[in-house]
Structure 1
């Protein structure tokens, strides 16, 4: 029987162990998509206790607690930080098979040196150990956690109207070596059918000094902000879509939909899709000009629990996988851009794992010599970044495309401890390739296989994003 979370955790063959320990473990982390606040990095934020660092804003942990019947006041409510941590500690042991169990213990081990297991009996011990280190160890600040995790690059997620002040300050600070790059997230300008759209178009207009009355006006404003982001080190954009749409319309039709929405009238699905398609095509062309990567995240059902949405608002851990038909629209969108010679580097993420195979066949239809793996199937996303989900994504990518050009893992997290997820991914990757080698499915050329692993861990992403 294997011990829990040993140095060979998940590494079930000699080849896997060699690949991980000799090649993967020491590679830098390129966390090209996350939700860390750049202000926290610049100010080198410190945390009073483990709850502030660990539970604040972590939807994964909140879902575990809710699934164990924990009252909401211990999750997002007014309970004390200790009470919230204690409730989580009581819940975690029941989450067997959930990646949270592995992630949490990797984080406790890697950052706090805790070798035990977290449960109701050890909660106080862990609480005191973690808090003592957070309060007294200089390396447990935001910058210390990033540097100690060997992070080469952090790609934050930023609103087009942001002045990027904290990114500018970080770029000027030569004492901090990790690259912190903004990423352009224009969802509010595209979401013509969602609450807050009118207010956001007004904000975009004020930010750019323009009156936005036509789709051309909005496109021009976004172009201005894209240029500003580019000047400040942006290497990627990100679009969070309910589903991928492709409904080409004239500028006059897109403007009619815009004016209807600005007047407070509801737009039809067809009108919304026409407007969104116009802006998506425009932005993609701009990204291609700057060799940015365009990330498309889709097939997420947002806020299905209307009672809890009314009580807590969005982004509180109630989102789910959606079954959408994004396949034909994605093909058409990419074909339209390819015909113009304006298809940017593109990373596609579906929250529905049933989409793996069509995504992986799409890649081969739109690759180019611009960069190996120009079109990417993004790392197993959100509900899929568990052991099985990662394996399935890697196997599908290997079966139908070229795994060796994959740009690897990201955290998609708000937590500074989530870099342990890169270790989790690397162990799963090495275990998979190690089994192929042990089974005689790939040559036992460990130097070459090790280089392949290192490329997937970091080198491919460094090349892909021009870092």
Structure 2
């Protein structure tokens, strides 16, 4: 039997014995509920092909920017970890990871990795600090070669009921269709409409993307009208293939609309490659508003992930591409930026608008008050660098007083690291059990009411908010 602290039944629960007992009872209501993952970045092809994972490095290190960024902060070259498709020696990359394992102490990624080793791979994570790296690599290689460790079998073992992917608007969604029609695969794998490549004219490839979009789905129209129609048509295609939400990774939270003539003028400049940064941001803000209009009409849930300086390291972006661990948060104004959108759509209860932030200073100042007034607004779970344990506790403290529990999106793992899914969701359940136990201990809630709330937070909220 493991003696690892990662196996302790009271991990993340309160230190005080009385409050801990309450938390244990609350956790028992939800610990074994199915996993609902309404936003993430896994490739649906993995479940169609159901092939063994290639090696421990490709599974656990290379795709997880939480892991690679910690190693890079110690001076490790991302190329040596296989990031961005670089040709790295997999076992050498594993040795680098094990050598730097002490750096992960106290980090969110360190906690999740310990949970994965303990509860997914059945390997005591304490061995990372004491055992030979090559021995662990060989043992993990044997584990992931087993039939019960293929993607489909793990989906069952993880209790995965719903998994949403993130997909380009012109994707044919063939893998989603295959999975939906497969009677032997029970989890729902849903596409999510992610149009960023067609709205960010400051990114490389914008003009070519827009040309292809209009040519493919514009119903013969040209210009801004054809552009909007093409987006509407592709949203409908996604809905027909099971999508319930559209996700938008905008630079900021501005949603001021443009009139059609001005939008056409800026779009023409964007397609010609001559739009200024200010014009590009104005067009993106206009599209945030227009997508809210579309969600009002077609009922796709709208999620917004603003406030990130994406690809902050120009040199890393040039070498490795996007989404490789150097997206850095900055502060922004939600209240002013979203005012036009919320004035027009925020009181429509059929419009579901989930707001995320990487700047936790706005939890209590802006997001909780917005969700505490507008029927359409829901508070997205802590995201990226603030979805670690202490920040999740601060999130509850910062938002509950103004917005209560009913305005919560449900937990979002937002991950490319498949084996971290059960660890991340279990973390959320334990943090919520600990928080609610404190309220019960302070006689602010009855334990019966807290039990109802935690089931709602973990299971009912994501189903309700994401229209599942």
Name the structure 1 match of 2:311.
303
Q: Which residue of 1 aligns with 2:453?
A: 452
Q: 2:255 aligns with which of 246, 259, 262?
A: 246
Q: Deviations over 1:351-407 (max 9, x none)?
A: 11111111000012211xxxxxx4211000001000121111122221111214523
Q: Aligned with 2:247: secondary structure?
A: strand
Partner of 2:385: 383
Give per-residue Cα distances to partners, 1:35-60, cap 9 Å, x unaligned: 00011111113213211211122111
Aligned-pair CA distance for 1:210? 4.9
Matches within 5 A, 1:1-400: 4-5=5-6, 6-12=8-14, 13-20=20-27, 22-75=28-81, 76=83, 77-119=86-128, 121-122=130-131, 123-136=133-146, 138-208=147-217, 210=219, 213-269=222-278, 271-338=279-346, 341=348, 344-357=351-364, 358-367=366-375, 374-400=376-402
Aligned residues: 454
> By how many angstroms is 1:15 displaced?
0.7
How far, CA to CA, are the matches of 2:385 and 2:220 in structure 1? 40
Task: Indicate if the aligned counterparts of 1:405 and 1:455 stay in contact, CA closer than 8 A.
Answer: no
Tell me the secondary structure at the aligned position of residue 184 of structure 1: coil
TM-score, normalization by structure 2:
0.92
**Post-superposition offset of 1:300:** 0.5
| Cα distance in structure 2, aligned partners of 1:212 and 1:412 | 36
CA contact (8 A) 1:353 1:384 kept: yes
Does the 8 A contact of 2:369 with 2:402 survive in 1?
yes
Deviations 1:420-456 (A, max 9, x none): 10011111111111122223332233xx322211111
Following superposition, the deviation at residue 120 of structure 1 comes to 5.1
Q: Which moved more, 1:274-283 or 1:320-329?
A: 274-283
Shift in Å, 1:342: 8.8
Query: How far 1:148 moved relative to its partner?
Result: 0.8
Q: Which region of structure 1 is more displaced relative to structure 2, 50-59 or 77-86?
A: 77-86
Question: Aligned pair 1:407/2:409, yes or no?
Answer: yes
Structure-2 separation of matches of 1:201 and 1:212: 13
Say if 2:358 and 2:383, in contact at 8 Å, map to a contact too. Answer: yes
CA contact (8 A) 2:50 2:151 kept: yes
How far, CA to CA, are the matches of 2:58 and 2:315 in structure 1? 26
Cα deviation for residue 268 of structure 1 reads 4.7
Task: State the secondary structure of the residue aligned to 1:107.
Answer: helix
Report what 1:371 is aligned to: none
Measured in 2, the distance between the counterparts of 1:108 and 1:301 equals 32
For 1:139 and 1:30, locate their aligned partners in 2 and report how far apart those are by CA, in whole Å. Answer: 21
- Does the Cα contact within 8 Å between 2:256 and 2:338 map onto a contact in 1? no
Partner of 1:465: 466
Cα distance between partner residues in 2 of 1:211 and 1:156: 30
> If the length of structure 1 is used for normalisation, what is the TM-score?
0.92
Other-structure match for 2:17: none
State the shift of 1:305 in Å. Answer: 1.7
Match of 1:275, SS?
Answer: helix
In structure 2, what is the Cα distance between the partners aligned to 1:461 and 1:264?
Answer: 40
Kindly indicate whether the alpha-carbon contact (under 8 Å) linking 1:86 and 1:120 is maintained by their aligned counterparts in 2: no
Query: Displacement of 1:80 after TM fit?
Result: 1.4
Measured in 1, the distance between the counterparts of 2:292 and 2:92 equals: 47
1:249 Cα deviation after fit: 2.0
Which position in structure 2 is the counterpart of 1:370?
Answer: none
Q: Whole-Å Cα distance in 2 between the matches of residues 409 and 460 of structure 1?
A: 9
**Alpha carbons 1:34, 1:154 under 8 Å: kept:** yes
Contact 1:281 1:337 in 2 (8 A): no
**Worse-matched range after superposition: 115-124 or 349-358:** 115-124
Match of 2:430 among 405, 416, 427: 427
